[in-house]
């Protein structure tokens, strides 16, 4: 076969009937003007990546800080007329279980508001909450856009009568106290008590009988301090 005497200026449109066995060394005279795929896919492929990343690109959220383990929290009697009024304030580690009452700085429908208080108090949040840790108490109050009450708010009866029968029991307060470090840090100033620091960071002040004991005359009275405590024989007390 001899070559065409007058070759065309451009290749023919139909494909060659006898394609060459190897690619040509010269470029195509009319390359395509646009990519083959006109539109990208609307959704990612359903086949997962063969080599996924070993960790997520977005780090996990930072966990909320734990309650203040370096401190004890004060747990406070629910009412100045409650059965716990003779010893209204005790210290508690944050992992102990105590009742929860919450305070709000903003008015809340159905919550208790006392004339002497600047806060609204409630016990049904939304139900009664007993034997909760301090971290749980914080979360319960925060879920109702409130907070754990302070020691002074509880002592001022700001949550008294708010329900759950908690007036005779102690509740978490946000007020903290440092843990004791040794027996000397537990000294209560009384000559007839043995003062010791426990491994839980709490002080124990036990009457040792070097003098006399004085006791509150009735569980209905508002005695200051413990119902029974040591006393020096030279002190004056009622008979």
Please tell me the predicted confidence (pLDDT) of residue 31.
59
Which residue spans within the chain are E strands per DSSP? 71-77, 89-92, 102-104, 112-113, 120-122, 147-148, 170-178, 193-197, 203-207, 212-215, 228-231
CA 179 to chain centre: 21
- Tally of CA atoms within 13 A in the half-sphere of 165 that contains its CB: 1
Is residue 66 pLDDT above 90, yes or no? no
Percent of the chain whose pLDDT exceeds 70: 60
Confidence of residue 56 (pLDDT cuts 50, 70, 90): very low
Separation between Cα atoms, residue 48 and residue 165, nearest integer Å: 57
Greatest extent of the chain over all pairs of C-alpha atoms, in Å: 142
Q: What is the pTM (predicted TM-score) of this model?
A: 0.61
Contact by Cβ (8 Å): 164, 123: yes
Which segment of 88-97, 109-118, 175-184, 218-227 scores lowest on mean pLDDT? 218-227
Q: pLDDT tens-digit profile of 138-196?
A: 999 999 999 999 999 999 999 999 999 999 999 999 999 999 999 999 998 888 889 99
Query: If you average pLDDT over residues 22-30, what whole number do you get?
Result: 62
**Residue that wins the pLDDT comparison between 181 and 217:** 181
Please tell me the predicted confidence (pLDDT) of residue 127.
97
Q: pLDDT tens-digit profile of 29-52?
A: 565 565 555 565 566 555 655 655
CA angle 93, 97, 100 (to 5 degrees): 105
Q: Most confidently modeled of 39-53, 98-112, 211-225?
A: 98-112
Please tell me the predicted confidence (pLDDT) of residue 67.
44
Query: If you average pLDDT over residues 12-24, what whole number do you get?
Result: 63
Please tell me the predicted confidence (pLDDT) of residue 192.
81
Q: pLDDT tens-digit profile of 75-105?
A: 999 999 999 999 999 999 999 999 999 999 9
Tokens 């780090």 map to which residue? 59
Confidence of residue 54 (pLDDT cuts 50, 70, 90): low
Query: If you average pLDDT over residues 64-75, what whole number do you get?
Result: 70
């Amino acid at each position: 076969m001899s070559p065409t005497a007058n070759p065309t200026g451009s290749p023919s449109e139909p494909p060659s009937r006898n394609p060459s066995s190897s690619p040509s060394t010269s470029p195509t005279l009319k390359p395509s003007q646009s990519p083959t795929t006109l539109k990208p896919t609307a959704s990612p492929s359903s086949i997962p990546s063969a080599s996924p990343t070993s960790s997520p690109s977005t780090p996990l959220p930072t966990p909320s800080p734990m309650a203040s383990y370096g401190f004890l929290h004060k747990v406070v009697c629910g009412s100045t007329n409650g059965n716990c009024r003779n010893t209204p304030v005790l210290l508690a580690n944050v992992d102990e279980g105590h009742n929860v009452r919450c305070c709000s700085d903003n008015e809340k429908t159905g919550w208790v508001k006392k004339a002497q208080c600047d806060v609204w108090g409630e016990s049904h949040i939304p139900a009664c909450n007993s034997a909760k840790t301090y971290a749980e108490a914080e979360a319960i109050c925060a879920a109702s856009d409130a907070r754990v009450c302070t020691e002074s708010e509880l002592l001022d009866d700001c949550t008294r009568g708010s329900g759950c029968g908690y007036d005779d029991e102690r509740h978490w307060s946000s007020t903290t106290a440092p843990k004791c470090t040794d027996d000397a840090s537990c000294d209560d100033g009384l000559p007839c008590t043995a003062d010791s620091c426990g491994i839980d960071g709490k002080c124990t002040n036990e009457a040792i009988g070097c003098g006399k004991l004085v006791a509150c005359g009735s569980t209905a009275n508002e005695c200051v301090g413990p119902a029974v405590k040591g006393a020096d024989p030279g002190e004056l007390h009622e008979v």
